Structures are given as structure tokens and as C-alpha cells.
Structure 1
Amino acid sequence: MALFREVADLAETLAAEPGRLKKRAAIAKAIAAVHAAAPESDDAGLFALYLSGTPFAEADPRKLNAGGALLTKALLSVSGATSAALHAAYKRHGDLGAAAFDLLHDREQGSRIRDQALALDEVATAFAAMVTAKTTAARAALVEGLLRRATPLEAKYLLKLMSGDMRIGVKQSLVEEAIAVAAEAPVAEVRNAVMLEADLASALRRAFAGTLAEARMRLFHPLGFMLASPVDSPEEAAERFANKQNAASVEAFLEDKYDGMRAQVHCGDAEQPGRVTIYSRNREDVTESFPDLAEAFAQVREPLIFDGEILGWDIKAGRALPFAVLGQRIGRKRVSNEWRQQVPVVFIAFDLMYAGGELLLNLPLGERRNRLEAAAERLVEKLRSPLTVDERKSAAQTAMFMQPDGEGVERMILSPARLVQSAEDIERAYADARARANEGVMLKAAASEYQPGRRGLAWVKLKRELATLDVVVTGAELGHGKRAGILSDYTFAVRSADSELLNVGKAYSGLTDAEIAEMSAWMMEHTLEDQGYFRTVEPLMVLEVAFNNIMRSNRHASGFALRFPRIIRIRTDKPVSEIDTVERVEEIYQSQVDKPVENATSH
């Protein structure tokens, strides 16, 4: 029987260890020991999963539904501490788990239930119960039950695990490497099994059993999205993809860059006819917000995974609607006929990730594009759905009685792509894309493989708008005047090289009154520290902000301050792991023609 204490002890050791190889060796040793002690149990799989910072496998759609407010309340109840003491502890560490360690360390040991140490399978049982709990009080009681049995160190890492932020310098990729070392298996095979089945614990079992080669792709779990790097000019883009034998020739596909919501569509599973799942870039299931797309893809009878962009669509004009219009549908749990008509949507497909029973990620883009075009041709008459439906019927009934082929709104459009010739060609294409109300252009190396989760140089994007940054909100303060009593002034941060969040500015303009009210309610629910006028909030809400310029400043931890920042939009489609970095801020700063002249001793 493996104990959660073993996870906590190792996590504390890893947090203090800077060396990656030493971290991997320690994880591998611990996994091997847990597996050897109980090879038939799930202990080693849970150990690896929890150490990587996730309560459930990636393929498992369950959520703990335990926000910062719930966890804070449970900690206060168990520790008996005052809110002031919690605020002080949180201020010292900026982390609820570390604050819990301080508060519980001096707690009377007799208050802890000592009949049995906390086992990994008991933690798993409590997590499962939290998912199905019907009330917040029931979930809080389960959290309190775990904390009352936990030592201060166990409580620290239980809270870190439940909040999704272990902060021990360990990513899943490192745990995958450690599994390979522990089981003496090729790391490439471990990673492939994780990608195919989206289950780290399953890959661990396969690694020790020698069955990694038997892992098979399953639909309905999100694969990582390939990302693009920014370029500043057509000349820079052309240089990236110049033919080595003929510098005047460029070997890249050119497409419009759409201002929509990046999405991945899974459909056509023979064992689950009609099932469709749409995933956002932060790997959340957003299908319920786009039933009109789901109805269309429910007609597919071959297993496929498409990569593309969801756009609000002006059907008459045949062009994209602004993202602000599409944003009104994102996150809606019920999409009425009124919304379907007001903001029609289409899926712009630009890649095919899975078809014919195999992943296509290792194929060159040119081959994937050929297969995408062939699939689109086969499905062109099927991927349609009506503008309105009988709202008395379920989505399944709607899909079952869909209109005949060729009727309804065309819901999948193939992104036009062509081989680009030169920087001048890119310049003209950019102007044409902007005329179509799209953001700019994308260039993708014709021979590039699809690299999930990677932002390399094989794909680049050209946008020449005023510079913007994707940031995460770390705090909010009460507004004034008509915004009195509403959290409306947002402090936000970028990432450092080691993923630490560093504040870079504050903004209060750019959102509508309705968006501000929704943001305020969300932040009240996700408050970590309440200082009265100011609240530290869970760093989960991503914003895109624009600004006039960047200045060096000691006011913020990043060393920079944005001048006249304003919010462009709420990025519900983007995970915190993909916000911009301090390095990106530095790049923008250095690109400014009006930046102050720096001498050799300046920062």
C-alpha cells in the first residue's frame, strides 16, 4: 500500500533540486520501488500521475470542481486559523499549499486522525467522490476529510495537487522519462503510448509489462496543438523557408491567419456512432457551445481528427465575423436558435491529424494536406446542419433527423492554402488576408511534421498590428464611480523562463459592462487572498492586452511596465501555459524606435 506521504516527501525534495537529471533519477527510483512493492495495484500509476500534478488521466474528463475559495475555506476550518493568519501566510509564499504547511505545522498533533496513514487509493477515492458531489458543501467536506488526516507536508501537496499547481519543477515529460528509466523501456515508446491513450498511469503499466507497442489511438481525448512563432516582416518569413539550392524560391504553404478559436474536432468512431467532441486549445471540451458544428460532424462515419479554427461566419458575405462576436457564444451551455442565427459558426479546417486508423503527425504537411483535401471532398455534402432546429429535441435526435445531403449550412470550410513564391508574394497575400478581415498570414514548411504542443520555426505567423501580449490576471481591485464594489482593475503577469508569473501591468479599460460584471463574479469565486480593496486571484484568466509602448520599471517584478495598457479580449481559448514571456516583452521593448538609449551599466 503506497502512501501519499511518499508523494509529498519526494515532491518536497524535487522542489529543492535544480538538476533535471537528478530529478529524473529520484522519480525513477521512487516509481520502481512503488511498483515493486505492489506490481498488480494502481499505486505506481497514481504515484506518477499525482507527481506530474494531475488528479486524473488526460483522457479522463472528470474535474474536481474545487476552486480556490473552496480550498481556502476548508483549510481555515481544519487549521482553526484566522483569515488574517491565512492572508499573512499566503503573502509570504504566494501559494496556498505552502501557506497550509505554515498554518498546520503548529497545530496540535492530537487533532489529526491517526488511525491510518493516508494511502494513494484513498486519495483517489476522495477525488472521485468530489467529482460526483452534488453540492459545494459535500465537496468541501471531502477536502476537509483529507486535510484532517494529512500531515502538514501532505496537506501542502494535496492542496497543490487539487489546485493544479505543484510548483516543483516537474513536467509530465520528465515523469515520462523517469518511467522509461524505471521500467527500462525506450522513452520514445512511453511518450507515444501517452500520446495515443492520454493516460500516464496506463503507459506506466504498459512499460513494466512490456506492452507499450500495443497502445492504440483512442478518439475523444485532445492531442496537443502545433503552434506558430511570430515573424515581423515578409522578408523574415521568406528567409525562414528559403530553398537552400535556390534562395529566390520559398518552400512553404501560405494560409490566412484567422481571428477565431483554435479547435480540434474528433468524430466518426464506429463504436460510438454520432459522437463528436470539440476541444479548445487549452484542451477543454467546448462541444456544448457549438451544437451546430456537432450536428454536422455527427454525420461522419470514418474516424477523423481535424485541426482548425472556429469562426463566427457571415453566411451572406461569406467571411468571418469579428472575434468579439464569436466570443458571445464561447462558454455557453445552451445555444438557442436565436444565438445560432445571430452568430452562425463554421469550422475552418487546415490540418488532418488522424485518419484511416492511424495518426498522421509524422507525415509531411504536403501529404497531410492531400489527405485533408480528399476527406473534405468525401464529406462536402454531409458536413452541414440547419441554421435553426426544433429546440424540443435533443442534440442526438437533431443529428438523427438531419436534413438530406446538400441542405443546411455548410459547416466545414477548407482553409485555402498554396505554395508561396517570394517575400513579395507574402506581402500581397497579407494585404489580401487583411482585406478579408483576417489577422494576417501563416506560413508552414511544406515538409514539416505535426509537433503537438511545440512552437518551433516550422510554422510562423505574420501579423503587423500594434503589439499585444497574452497575460494572466493575478489580482484585481475594486473600481470607482459606477464600478464601485466591482472588481474591475486587473493586475496581470507574464511568464519567466522557469514559468514563474511576474507582474507587468494593470488595465481597467477595454471590456464591456457585461464582461466586467462576469469577470468580477468569477474573481470573487476564485479569490486566494482578500485584502479588502485588492484581491489576489487564481492565475487562470488569460487576457490579450494592447499598449502604446513598454518601459523599464522597478514597479513590477518583470522589470517592465506597459504604457496605456488596454484589454483587447478575454482569451478563454488559451491556457495559462501559453501566455507570453518576459523574453517576449524584452523583444518588443528592444524593437521600439523610441526606447531610451541604454548604457552598458543599465539593466
Structure 2
Amino acid sequence: MALFHVIAELAEALAGEPGRLKKRAAIAEAIAAAHAAAPKTEDAGLFALYLAGTPFAEADPRRLNAGGALLSKALLSVSGATSTALTAAYKRHGDLGAAAFDLLQGNSSQKASLTLQDVAEAFAAMAAAKTTAIRAALVEGLLQRSTALEAKYLLKLMSGDMRIGVKQSLVEEAIAVAASAPVAEVRHAVMLEADLAAAVRRAFAGTLGEARMRLFHPLGFMLASPVDSPEEAVERFAGKQDAETASIEAFLEDKYDGMRAQIHCGDAGQPGRVVIYSRNRDDVTASFPDLEEAFASVREPLIFDGEILGWDLKAARALPFAVLGQRIGRKRVSNEWRQQVPVVFMAFDLMYANGELTLNQPLTERRNRLEVAVERLVEKVRSPLVVDERKNTAQIAMFMQPDSDGNNDEVERLMLSPARLVQSAEDIERAYADARARANEGVMLKAAASEYQPGRRGLAWVKLKRELATLDVVVTGAELGHGKRAGILSDYTFAVRGPGGELRNVGKAYSGLTDAEIAKMSAWMMEHTLEDQGYFRTVEPLMVLEVAFNNIMRSDRHASGFALRFPRIIRIRTDKPVSEIDTVERVEEIYQSQVDKPEE
């Protein structure tokens, strides 16, 4: 039986190896060795799965349910260390696994004996455990049998953060090398079945071609590249030609300010089952029971790509994301929330239909099939605003209650994103203005002949979304980063001036600067610390930054009463004194200028 120590040693070596090809060769060699040693076991598959940082296959609904607090307590119990020592070790590394290695490496008497099967059995028991105490005991049991190096990577694996520079795509390539199989076939099998371990088994058995698609695991989302102007968009599609004379063939759609999502429904083997996945591939179905109820009526297997939108039923337009965001993450959505923030699904692509993936078909064909599917289903995909909360709201058959007007009408939850072909920059400019007038973020442009490329951000799709005016702000606090930024102050809280000249925080940013700039900023922050709270430092308000953002929302989280959405640092303003930073009044002015701000 393969030992977990082999994975731990390889992971440690890979973390220090910058060469991608060398990493792939090392992983391939290890997978091949695991298969050769025990070809009839799951060892080689578990090896690939764990090295990719996943306790279970993506298609497997089981979860460890072991958060940072549980793992930290288990580590303290096994190591005998104090909370102070653990905090200090974590601050050094920004990583619980690395902190565990520091605390446990004095335990030289422990010998490597933990097998991959031992780990798999413990993980299965954790997923099935009914209480936190049982899960904690299982984690402690694993750590007690582990060397310091094994504990390091067990905790990394359980926390879902390996940090060894190995993505799933690299493991897929290594599987292909180890089994002398085409990498395209390995990737296709993984995409269809969402199971790395199964792909290893198929690769060595020569049955990759027998993999079949199954619903209820997220496919990668195709992403769009940003452009700053209609002319740049035309150039992306037409090449380096004169944007005024170039002609393109692309579909144009509004870019909605909602939540990108994928809906799986209609599996004959699991009637009524619906799963909604976010862009981060998380199952968010519980936050949108009204969509789950509506799509449970679908009787043909389909995967839609689109946007979940808060929807103003009277005005027939999307609500701002700030409104929709109040529903995201809720484990229970009451009737009050269903009425206050109704949601719809705006579909703009069809990824699976009639028993086949449609990803390799051109957008024109996928769009035709999407239009047919939506036309066929739009009247069926409905659910009420209000339900009997005593019943199981996840079921399609439920008792409805009348709404405040005495009606029990159902709401259509499936919509088709309007799209049309455009050919010129002038046409795109007009469409952009129209989209903003409808309170949408901008426009999307998609090459008519483009295939759907999961997880890719190429040139086939682009988005035109102009930024609002930037703000000059002053840094008031800094937080330690994680991973490669562990021990470095890299997350900056910043403020604008209030009516009396006082500083009022308005956001936090951690992107936009180079590593060299961050290193200088971190050193400066440490020298100008007013209060050291461990992970966070209050600093002298002297460093001015220029920040950009997507939009501004009212928020109680900051003293300014506002929060910047997706802020990013444009530059360090050494040329600007703190006395000239922007004000809360300016923030309010920008907020009021937004066509997509919530009604007040």
C-alpha cells in the first residue's frame, strides 16, 4: 500500500521547484510507480487526487466539513503547543500546514506508516460524521499517526490550500505521461466525469474513450477579456486593421451586474434535482430556492450558463448587485427575502443538451439551441414569490400562499439574454450607451464562430465596461497576506476625508501593485505602525494611493457609509499630500452618478 509520506515528500519538493516540465515529470513518475506497485488498488488515483489538493472527486458531493478552527484545535491538542505559539507560527508562514510542521518537527520518534487508504477512510468518516466532536477526533487521529511533514500536507489538503504550484491541469498532463495516453483524452474524461482518480484508472486501462458525461458537477466557465474601447474590441476580432473600416461578426449582449452561475437540471435518474454552481464552482443552490423550485420542472438534461439577477418585477429590469448580494450566502431564504429580492436566471449559453456537450459547437449553433430550449421551457420554469415555509421548499410540489395582493401567481424564472450581431465600433458604442441606460454594467462581445472554452480567458469573448472616476485615498491600516505574501503587509485599508476633515474608511485593496512595490510598502508600514494587533496594523495616515473600482455601494461596514466594489490600486501617489485626498462628499457624488445604484 502506498504511503502518504510519499505524497508529502513529493509535495515538498514540488513547492520548491519552479520548472513546470520538471514538476510534471516528477508527478508522472510517482503516479506510474503507485500504479505499478498496486495496479488493482485505488492508490494511483488517490495519489493524483490528493496531489491536486482535493480530498474527494469534484463530482463527489461529500465534504470534510473541517474549518480552520477545528483543524487548529486538533493541531493544538496533538502538538501540546500553546495558542500563542500557534499564532506566531501562523504569522511566520500564513499557512496552517507550515505552522504545524514548525510545532511538530521535534517529534522525531514518529515513523511514516500512514497509507493513502488510511487517509481515504478517515476522510470518508469525516464526511459522514454527525458532530464536530467526531470530526475533530478523526483529525486528531490522523495527526497523531503522522510525521511533521505528513501533518503539514494533511492539513493543507484538508483546508483545500496545498500551495505547491500544482494545478489540476498539470496533474492531468502527468496522468497522460504516466499512462502513455493522449492528454486531450485525459482532460476530456475529467471534464465529463469530474473525477481525477477515475481518469487515472481509465488511462491505465485504456478506457478513456468510455467516459460519459453526468450532470451535477460544475464545468469550467468561459471568461471574457476586458477592453477599454469599441475600437479595441474590433481590433481583437479583426486584427490590426483600421477600426473604423474593419468588419467583424460578433454577438453583442448586455453585461449584467449579477452573479455568474451554471444550472444543472433535468436528469431522468434524479427527477426534480437541480444544482446551481457559482463561478467559483461552489454549490449555491440553497441561496436560491425559488430558482431550484422552478427548474425542478425541467424534464430534459440541460446545463445552462448565465447570470442570476435580482429582478424588479414591476419595472422588468435587473436590480443592482448591492441588492442581490444581500441574498447570496444565506442558508435559509425566507418569504420576506423572496419578495424583497426576487431572482431570475438570465441564460446566455447552453453547455449540454440532448445527451451531449455542446462546447465544441460554434456560438451561432449553441445560441440557436439555447433559444429553442428557452422558448420551450419559459412557461414551465416558474415558481411562486411566497411559499408555505412549513414545507420543504426544495420540492417542486408545495403549498403556495397568496402574496400581499391576494394573488398566488408564479414568476417566470428563466429569461433569454437578448443578443444581436454587430459589425462596427460605432454600433458597439451605441449599444454600450443603451446598456448603461438600462442600468447594466456594459456589453459583452462574443465571436460568432467561437467554441466554448471552459476556464479560458481568450480573445473570443471580450467585455467593454468602463471604470468610474478613480479616488485618491490614504492608507489607514495594513493586514498580513497569505501564501507567497505571508509575513508581508499587503492588504491595505484606506480612507477619504469626512466633513470635519476626519478620516473615514471606504474600502480595502490588495491588487494592482508589483511585488517590489508591495515589499517597499510593507517595510514602510512596519516603520509607521501606530498599533500592532497581530494580523492587522493601524498605520500613520501618510501614504496616498489612487484606486479604481467597479462601482460604489452604501455600506455600514465602513465609517464613510460607502464601500467600493472590486477596488484595485492604480498607483502610489507620492506626488500628492494627504490634505488633497478625496472626500466623502466626492464619493457620494460618484455614487449618485451611477445609473445602476439602488433606489432610495
Query: Aligning the two structures, in what range does the TM-score lie when normalised by the shorter sequence?
Result: 0.7 to 0.9
Match of 1:9 in 2: 9
Q: Summarize the Cα distance change of 1:399–1:458 in structure 2 as closer, same or farther, 3 Å threshold.
A: farther
Aligned: 1:503 with 2:490: yes
Counterparts of 2:381 and 2:10, CA distance in 1: 51
Report the 3-state secondary structure (helix = DSSP H, G, I; strand = E; otherwise coil) of the residue aligned with 1:202: helix
Write the letter of the residue equivalent to 2:58. E
Structure 2 contact 189–211 (Cα < 8 Å) conserved: yes
Residue 389 of structure 2 is aligned to residue 391 of structure 1: yes
**What SS does the corresponding residue of 1:385 show, helix, strand or coil?**
strand
Indicate the residue corresponding to 2:427 in structure 1.
425
**Could you say if the C-alpha distance between residues 569 and 500 of structure 1 is closer, same or farther in structure 2, counting changes exceeding 3 Å?**
farther
- What residue is the counterpart of 2:339 in the other structure? 341
Superimposed CA distance per residue, residues 405-464 of structure 1 (whole angstroms, 9 cap, x where no aligned partner): x96211111000011121121111111111111111111111111111111111111111
Query: Partner amino acid for 1:57?
Result: A
Cross-structure match for 2:376? 378
Alpha carbons of structure 1 residues 564 and 317: separation in structure 2 relative to 1, 3 Å: same
Residue-by-residue CA offset, 1:307-347 (whole Å, 9 max, x unaligned): 00000000110001111111111112222222111111000
Structure 2 segments unaligned to the other structure (5+ residues): 402-407, 497-506, 526-542, 555-564, 578-600
Q: Cα deviations across residues 243-267 of structure 1 (Å, max 9, x unaligned)?
A: 8999431221111000001000001
The equivalent residue for 1:153 is 149
**Take 2:51 and 2:523, find their aligned partners in 1: how far apart are those partners?**
29
8 Å Cα contact 1:348-1:415 kept in structure 2: yes
Superposed CA deviations along residues 244-303 of structure 1, whole A, max 9, x for unmatched, are 999431221111000001000001111111111111111111111111111111111111
- Which position in structure 1 is the counterpart of 2:181? 185
For 1:54, the aligned partner's letter is T
Which of 449, 452, 463 lines up with 1:450 in the alignment? 452
The alpha-carbon distance between structure 1 residues 91 and 502, as it changes in their structure 2 partners (threshold 3 A), is closer
Does the CA-based 8 Å contact 1:309-1:349 persist in structure 2? yes
Please give the per-residue CA displacement for 1:184-221, whole angstroms capped at 9, x wherever unaligned. Answer: 11100000000000000001100011110000000010
Counterpart-to-counterpart distance in 1, 2:320 and 2:490: 29
* Residue of structure 2 equivalent to 1:206: 202
Deviations 1:47-94 (A, max 9, x none): 110111111111112221222222222112111122232233223322
Which amino acid is the alignment partner of residue 115 of structure 2? Answer: A
Q: Could you tell me how far apart the structure 1 residues matched to 2:544 and 2:462 are?
A: 27
Of 455, 463, 466, the residue aligned with 1:461 is 463
Matches of residues 59-458 of structure 1 in structure 2 within 5 Å? 59-107=59-107, 109=109, 112=110, 117-242=113-238, 247-395=245-393, 397-399=395-397, 408-458=410-460
CA 1:362–1:244 in structure 2 vs 1: closer, same or farther (change >3 Å)? farther
Q: One-letter code of the match for 2:266?
A: G
Contact 2:59/2:216 (<8 A) preserved: yes
* CA-to-aligned-CA distance 1:563-587 (integer Å, 9 cap, x gap): 47899579xxxxxxxx999xx86xx
Shift of 1:396: 5.3
Supply the distance in 1 between the matched residues of 2:311 and 2:201 (Cα, whole angstroms). Answer: 46
Identity of counterpart residues, as a percentage?
77
Q: Which amino acid aligns with 1:433?
A: A
SS of alignment partner, residue 395 of structure 1: coil
Aligned-partner Cα distance in 2 for 1:66–1:468: 41
Change (3 A) 1:400 1:378: farther
**Deviation, structure 1 residue 552:** 5.6
Further displaced range: 348-357 or 77-86: 77-86
TM-score normalised over the length of structure 1: 0.80
Distance in 2 (CA, whole Å) between partners of 1:90 and 1:33 is 35
CA contact (8 A) 1:546 1:565 kept: no
Moved more, 544-553 or 195-204: 544-553
- Asked whether the 8 Å contact 1:440–1:462 carries over to 2, the reply is yes
Q: Find the aligned partners of 2:483 and 2:152 in 1 and give their Cα distance.
A: 23
Q: What letter is aligned with 1:218?
A: R
Cα distance between partner residues in 1 of 2:150 and 2:422: 57
Aligned partners of 1:468 and 1:546 also within 8 Å: no
Residue ranges of structure 1 left out of the alignment (5+ in a row): 470-478, 480-488, 510-542, 571-578, 597-603
Q: Distance in 2 between matches of 1:454 and 1:147?
A: 38
* Post-superposition offset of 1:169: 1.4
SS at match of 1:353: strand
Contact 1:360 1:368 in 2 (8 A): yes
- The correspondence of residues 468-507 of structure 1 with structure 2, limited to 5 A, is 491=479, 503-507=490-494
* 1:231–1:287 Cα change, 3 Å: same
Q: Aligned to 1:140, what secondary structure does the other structure show?
A: helix
When normalised by structure 2's length, the TM-score is 0.80
Q: What residue number does 1:44 align with?
A: 44
**Is contact 1:495-1:580 (8 Å) kept?**
no
Alignment of 1:539-578 (within 5 A): 554-556=520-522, 562-563=545-546
Counterpart in the other structure of 1:518: none
Is the contact made by 1:503 and 1:557 (CA closer than 8 Å) also made in structure 2? no
8 A contact 2:492–2:510 mirrored in 1: no
User: Which whole-Å CA distance do the structure 2 matches of 1:155 and 1:174 have between them?
Assistant: 24
Confirm or deny: 8 A CA contact 2:387 2:399 kept in the other structure: no
Counterpart amino acid of 1:445? A
CA distance in 2, matches of 1:507, 1:595: 15
State the Cα distance separating 1:465 from its structure 2 match: 2.3
Partner SS, residue 452 of structure 1 = coil
